[in-house]
Structure 1
Amino acid sequence: MSGTTPARPGLLRRWALYDFANSAFPTVIETFVFAAYFTRQVAPDPVTGSALWGTAVGLAGLVVALLGPVAGALADHGGGQRRWLLAATALCVLPTAALWWVQPQASNLIIPLLLVGIAAVGMELASVFYNALLPRLAPASQIGRWSGWGWGLGYAGGLLCLLLALFGLVREGAWLTLPREDASHVRASFVLAAAWFALFALPLLTARLPGRDAPPGRLEIRASLAELWQTLRGLRRQGALLRFLVARMLYTDALATLFAFGGVYAAGTFAMTEAQVLAFGIGLNVTAGLGAAAFAHLDDRLGSRNTIVIALLALLASGAAALLAQSVASFWAAGLALGVFVGPAQAASRSLLARMAPPQQRNQLFGLFTLSGKATAFLGPLLVGWATLYSGSQRVGMAVILGLWLAGLALLLTVPADRPRGHE
């Protein structure tokens, strides 16, 4: 059990560094650089590009939702956890590096979308095995702090890789001068993201993990799926765990919708320019990372569930302030305050499941954890879009996010508080 796990600071630092590594992919590829490059320069026009990009990302999310629990069951049954992590990491890194060959106005749009989809699936599956390592490496009294520190490092890694890409490769007057007629300066940033992930993941991937995995052997697919089915059936008898996963599904959907629509809201309601929206997004990520790290010790002292409750209450208050803001300055203040509590809600969710999961089911349950973050990813954006359309107001539409946070909070309060032992 995690409660008897001795502290392994060296291994835990390697574990946290993996968060620093994998954040390069969502930041550079999925959000800022490749997404814009594909819609503006690869696709025939931005409308077609946006439609194809949304479809590809949605399908990748569906694949992750379906494969996450299955991959976790295979790892729990077959052992070789580090090998699974290595394979999933490679499944992200290699297709990401291959994006270098995606030229502007490409004749075949399926290949780049397929590469991004495979890489996204690899990254999400890697997170299943990576997250499940936390209770194996950290004692119960330190799970919260390491989860928070890792999440904070993740925000830092994504931003640092993005800034290196922008100032080192993409901008006019970049440190490294590359041809622009074939977008080499932009395409090089995709290789940078792949190299960043591989380099900073290497310390964990080459580490000797404590304890012994079951021999990797062959894939026991039928036995693994049978175990997964028993776990799913057993969730009905594990009411607290089931309620937590559903609650997380609701408030995580709200967080994802916030990041998806925050820039749209800022531009539409306050007429912020693209540069201002980008600066706001960077600021939001900075405060989220700082918040995750700052709340790490609180997680271990008050428990993960109580930390999430505090974060959700603060998100409701700061989110309401952002929606009621009448000036750009007040919106910035409320938005950056909101960011402080985004990271703790995410990091404490990981540590709560790490404390709740039986050792023999960790990978399976973190697979379900991934599923709970993907299963209703469409819900928040759909509700915000409908509410905005019918009300004619972006403020009313964005208020849906508050409703999802409130619903998640109400359900989370029915989950018994965890009580970490041996505070240090």
Structure 2
Amino acid sequence: MLKKEVFYWGMYDLANTIFSALFVTFFFPFYVKTFLGGNEFQIGLVFGLSMLLVAILVPIIGAWSDNLGRRMPFIIIFTVICCLLTLLVSYTTLALALIAGFFANFSYHAALTTYNALLPKIAGKYDLGKISGIGIGMGYIGTLISLAIAAIILSRLGWETIEGSKAMFVLTAILFFTLSLFTFFGIKEKKKIETKGFFSALENVKKTIVQAKKHKTFFRFLLAMFFYANAIFAIIVFLFLYARTQLNLSVQAFFAVYLIQSVGAVIGSLIAGKYVDKYNSKTVLWYSGVLWVIVVAALMLFTNLVVFIIAGTIGGAALGAVWTAQRPKLLELVPKKNVGQFFGFLELTNKFSGVFGPIVFGWLAKYYSYQAGMASVILFFAIGLIMLRD
């Protein structure tokens, strides 16, 4: 394990979490609903259907990167596309903004898949949890940095103005791209002497599906993560709109709350990394799910700011723990030579979950209530917990 490589690898976590925070959680939902006349169901469809496309294509991208023996070209291409489309959102109508948001989110997750598959190269066998935790922790540090810079800009342009919101798309694209440059230039990969192409990758994916019986434990893990991810993606997409509609929080107030919750996520990811290496990733995943059920139940029952801050901070820690433990658990279950492909299947599972989670929550919030949407989140976590049990 080289310390420089760990830093360069973690910098991409730092960079891409800025997109997740400023674009996915904050300003795309806010801008679409407030200034373009969109609604929760449309927002849910954008993120849900883009994840469906990821679910279809990402295992092939992962297998292709395995065959090439290189991850960075995929990470660079999809990151650049994501940043360009993020910029485009602020200059378009509702329909075009929804389309740009769709492909920006697709590109973000396509890059993330091949990035995750770099972990075995960066970490030793007994450092997987620690290094994964460092990456997730650096990601939330990126969130804190982006919130601080965004706060300075919004204090001048206005916290809830159209100019301020448009500036956030520019800021997101610039920060995501520039901070990713550390990874682009810092991670060195040796090219395979013999490489196989795209159609060979397709064959590998088909072979893995056919041989699914040999990977029962892996596919049971995927099923558990399917239900976890349904809940998590719904929360990520609708956290700000929930706070705004149920607690009447302004953008400025939510920034402060989200800052506290992000600190919780940093702490949770770093602690979880140590526990993954000391005990096992499955235990960390299970207790994280239990914490999430408690957190969401509290938000359903008590709609006040104090509970939202406390529950959100605990939820942030649990979220950091899930992301930290998920990567090492997968690496325990799969052949090292096919790790990119199997990370593709994990992304497939997560993104199929992303199809249902945001759409179900958005539909329930639009046509029933946010409490009904929260109930769907608890159900998803509960089923995931059952699947994690032997």
TM superposition score normalised by structure 1: 0.81
Question: Aligned partners of 2:244 and 2:95: how far apart in 1?
Answer: 31
Matches within 5 A, 1:308-347: 308-325=285-302, 328-347=305-324
Aligned residue number for residue 18 of structure 1: 12
Matches within 5 A, 1:108-119: 109-119=94-104
Contact 2:147–2:255 (CA under 8 A) maintained in structure 1: no
CA RMSD of aligned residues (A): 3.1
Question: Aligned partners of 2:105 and 2:242: how far apart in 1?
Answer: 26
Match of 1:166 among 138, 147, 151: 151
Aligned residue number for residue 112 of structure 2: 127
Contact 1:79–1:216 (CA under 8 A) maintained in structure 2: no
Give CA-to-partner distance per residue, 1:78-123, whole Å, 9 cap, x none. 3332222222222223333445xx44xx4x5554444333322221
Match of 1:291 among 243, 268, 271: 268
Q: C-alpha displacement at 1:396, in angstroms?
A: 5.7
Match of 2:348 among 348, 371, 396: 371
Higher alpha-carbon deviation: 261-270 or 151-160? 261-270
Contact 2:82–2:104 (CA under 8 A) maintained in structure 1: yes
Whichever structure has more helix as a proportion of its residues is 2
Matches within 5 A, 1:64-213: 64-99=54-89, 102-103=90-91, 106=92, 109-167=94-152, 169-172=153-156, 183=163, 186-209=165-188, 212-213=190-191
Q: C-alpha displacement at 1:264, in angstroms?
A: 5.0
Any gaps of 5 or more consecutive residues in structure 1? 1-6, 175-179, 415-424
Greater gyration radius: 1
2:218 equivalent to 1:241: yes
Aligned residue number for residue 25 of structure 2: 31
Contact 2:127–2:277 (CA under 8 A) maintained in structure 1: yes
Structure with larger RCO (C-alpha < 8 A, sep 6+): 2
Aligned residue number for residue 399 of structure 1: 375
Give CA-to-partner distance per residue, 1:322-381, whole Å, 9 cap, x none. 444475434432332232212101221122113333222111111111111111324345
Q: C-alpha displacement at 1:197, in angstroms?
A: 1.6
Question: Using a 3 Å threshold, how does the CA distance of structure 1 residues 285 and 360 change in structure 2: closer, same or farther?
Answer: same
Contact 2:261–2:309 (CA under 8 A) maintained in structure 1: no
State the SS of the aligned residue for 1:23.
helix
Contact 1:24–1:158 (CA under 8 A) maintained in structure 2: yes
Question: Aligned partners of 1:137 and 1:231: how far apart in 2?
Answer: 25
1:203 is matched by which residue type in structure 2? F
Contact 1:78–1:215 (CA under 8 A) maintained in structure 2: no
Give CA-to-partner distance per residue, 1:362-418, whole Å, 9 cap, x none. 11111111111111324345555787899x77546523322221211111122xxxx
Question: Aligned partners of 1:273 and 1:227: how far apart in 2?
Answer: 49
Give CA-to-partner distance per residue, 1:198-234, whole Å, 9 cap, x none. 2221122113536x332586x7222210111001222
Aligned residue number for residue 200 of structure 2: 223
Contact 2:8–2:187 (CA under 8 A) maintained in structure 1: no
Contact 2:44–2:358 (CA under 8 A) maintained in structure 1: no
Percent sequence identity is: 26
1:71 is matched by which residue type in structure 2? I
Question: Aligned partners of 2:364 and 2:305: how far apart in 1?
Answer: 23
Question: Using a 3 Å threshold, how does the CA distance of structure 1 residues 152 and 216 change in structure 2: closer, same or farther?
Answer: farther
Q: C-alpha displacement at 1:252, in angstroms?
A: 1.6
1:412 is matched by which residue type in structure 2? L
1:115 is matched by which residue type in structure 2? A
Question: Aligned partners of 2:112 and 2:208: how far apart in 1?
Answer: 20
Question: Using a 3 Å threshold, how does the CA distance of structure 1 residues 395 and 123 change in structure 2: closer, same or farther?
Answer: closer
Q: C-alpha displacement at 1:295, in angstroms?
A: 1.9
1:363 is matched by which residue type in structure 2? G
Question: Aligned partners of 1:194 and 1:336: how far apart in 2?
Answer: 27
Contact 2:86–2:101 (CA under 8 A) maintained in structure 1: yes
TM superposition score normalised by structure 2: 0.87
2:25 is matched by which residue type in structure 1? T
Any gaps of 5 or more consecutive residues in structure 2? none
